[in-house]
Chains A and B, each alone.
Chain A
Amino acid sequence: MNGLVKAEFRKIFTTHLWWALLLPVAVLSFLAGWGGAALGQTDFVLEITEGQNLPTGLLTMSLSTNNVTVFAVLLGALAVTGEYRQKTVTTTFLTANPRGAVLGAKLIAYTNVALLYGLVNALCSSLGGLVGLGADGFGELPQWLMVGGAGLLSMVLWTLVGIGLGALVTNSVAAVLIILGYLLVFEGMASSALTQTPVSWLTDYLPGEAASGIVGNVSVPMFISDVAGAREPFVSKTAFELLHSAFGGSYGFPWWGSLLVFVGYAAVFVAGGWLATAKRDIL
């Protein structure tokens, strides 16, 4: 198994995909951190908060995480479909038994790459925040670590979802279309359709919502608690909902609840990919 994981690392770092997708992660994270921080410094916000120093860095890290995880799921999916497209999957399966071992090795190797993605995201969005806001905008170190850690979890789980999805569909184009189509179009439509119905709570359980809730349900309550201090119990639900809609998560939903839901999705996709891989004819 060690050998297979090593083989996966070699496949990753001798080809371009890993940095080609990491590059936009770095850039977008930086921009999200910078732009978000600048927003907190506008006259309008400063007027409302009476010049109080806001830990907007926590929110912007949440924002950047939920925007760049799409590259993590693409990475995972293309990691698998690329082998089918390049037909290296034949040799890969000829050098490993059973096929599940290959998938297992990919899960391990790409978990590590996803952690790298998560770190780059945390660092770049923080760097952006520093440039736009200075060191005061991040709250306490433990808070920064918690939001950053939630970001790592989200990044890793998205990558695993991608690997499972890639193993299910095997076609690169189809995988990319499914991912982008779902995240950019379908889930938004499904959420707005659900809001008017008695089952509107279902939206929290959709994959995209659940994933963004991992970070959003940490950062938003933390931010409000910081800003409101002793007045926290009197903060209106509307304020929460406004922030959640921008930075992920939903009012009153615990972050670990989102985590559990999304772990469930990752498990379903990985298990599906595993079964499909074991049965598939490699032509």
Chain B
Amino acid sequence: MHDGSGRILVQGLHKSFGPIEAVHNLNFSVEPGSVTGFLGPNGSGKTTTLRMILGLIRPTSGTAYVNGQPFSRLPNPATVVGAVLDSQGFHSGQTARTHLRCYVAALNLPDQQADRVLELVGLSSAATRKTGGFSLGMRQRLALATALLGDPGILILDEPANGLDPEGIAWLRGFLKSFASTGRTVLVSSHLLREMEHTVDNVVIVSRGRCVYNGDLEQLRAGQHSRVFTRVSDPAALVTLLNQEGMTAEYLPDGRLVIPGTDSGRVADLALRAGVAVQEMQDENLDLEQIFFQLTSGQYTGAAPTGPAHPPTADPWAPSGHPGPGGHPPGLGQGYQRTSEQYRYGQDDNGGHGGNV
């Protein structure tokens, strides 16, 4: 029996399709009472991971647990977890109601449950229409209705906003938030962080089958929101003071310093204390989309630093090391290292731990 915790736990998940490594050593957990975004570019292994959680794809190694059990050991699984995977799973000759009633029967539920979920997703008026004539948005709603049939405590959605109009997306956001606010679990994937920004509380970001961030969205935003480019008369003096203040800096090839996690006012104060003249100062704010892009491609850098400042105490873009929930998910710092490492050593199998190369 499952433990009813509403938790999804992914441990060391790994999936290869022949020579293609779709998912590589993925670890994360999804907690109840919140909406967790599962983000990554197309082809980063999101769908494969969700389908492994749902027992549809067999992992090469590792296990995914739903309520403390692998999916295959959940009795009457649709009452535990509902899933919207694609908007295609309908027989075109069936009506919305007859489609739902097939699964109502499979779940041993009363027939009225079909009409109840149709009402929940706003499809009551289309109950007797054949699904073959449904628009993509209606199909998404019907898929959601199907997922809700068993009144599950966990909802997993794969790119649910695809095909929804802005009104539909707003409705979906509200729905997911209210679903989670009742203490239930939502895991929703997307390739657009912006689309999810106002919906999700936590994010799991994957790139090329690897997890690059797992944690609070606000933390990601806070730890990343700005950095300062500056040119001063005596960079070494400023760096010494910055290090004393617990901050880091890096030299850029053009002689400027880049100081992450601060703003120009604070740097100006420190420059004054260090007695160096400020010749140039520039704030840069990253929005979430840029952070996301940086995390998932490893290609976003203002100007690639060639040599570390002395001493390179930490990755300049690492936040204070926020451990995500559940086990040992990588913090952002590790994630960033891993991505750049992956960029250089694409085939390196050790990348999962950001270890020695």
Contact = CB atoms under 8 A, between A and B. Distances in A.
Interface in A121-178: none
Interface in B45-97: 51, 54-58, 71-78, 81-83, 85-86, 88-95
A85 to B, nearest CB: 9
B146 interface: yes
Given A3-B108, A10-B101, A10-B105, A93 B89 contact: no
B151 to A, nearest CB: 13
A197 interface: no
Interface string A1-26: 01110110111001110000000000
Nearest to B86: A87
A97 B101 contact: no
A97 B93 contact: no
Interface size class of B (residues with CB under 8 A): 35 or more
B286 interface: no
A94 B91 contact: no
Contacts of A91: 89, 103, 146
B51 A3 contact: no
Nearest to B59: A281
Given A10-B102, A87-B88, A98-B72, A282 B93 contact: no
Contacts of A237: none
Interface size class of A (residues with CB under 8 A): 20 to 34
A7 B85 CA distance: 21
**Chain A contact residues: over half helix, strand or loop, or mixed?**
helix
B77 A97 contact: yes
Nearest to B150: A95
A87 B244 CA distance: 61
Nearest to A11: B102
A11 B86 CA distance: 20
Contacts of A89: 89
Interface in A86-113: 86-98
B216 to A, nearest CB: 30
A95 B55 contact: no
Contacts of A92: 106
A279 interface: yes
A283 interface: yes
Contacts of B149: 95
7 contacts: A10-B101, A14-B101, A88-B90, A93-B56, A95-B77, A281-B56, A283-B56
> Which 3 A-B pairs have CB atoms at the shortest separation, nearest pair first?
A7-B106, A282-B56, A6-B105
Given A14-B102, A90-B89, 17 more contacts: A2-B108, A7-B103, A7-B105, A15-B91, A86-B89, A86-B91, A87-B86, A92-B106, A94-B82, A95-B107, A96-B77, A97-B72, A97-B74, A97-B75, A279-B58, A282-B51, A283-B56
